[in-house]
Amino acid sequence: MAKRVLIAEALLVAGLATAVLLREMPGLVREVRIWRMVGLPGVTRRRR
């Protein structure tokens, strides 16, 4: 019984984390673009 509860909790947490990540994806993409424009040292650039 306890194992089922732990599995259910893990699935719930994973589902919530996925939902938050998908909801925040456009903002993260925008932030990465800004970092590339500013040229922060931690962000690697592809040379074209």
Q: How confident is the model at residue 40 (pLDDT cuts 50, 70, 90)?
A: confident
- 11 versus 40: which is more confidently predicted? 11
The three state secondary structure string of 1-48 is CHHHHHHHHHHHHHHHHHHHHHHHHHHHHHHHHHHHHHCCCCCCCCCC
Q: Is the pLDDT of residue 41 over 80?
A: no
Half-sphere exposure of 15 (CA within 13 A, CB side): 6
Instruction: Name, in order, each residue with C-beta under 8 angstroms of 39's C-beta and a sequence gap of 6 or more.
Output: 45
Question: What residue ranges do the domains of the chain occupy?
Answer: 1-37
The pLDDT value given to residue 44 = 61
Q: What is the pTM of this model?
A: 0.56
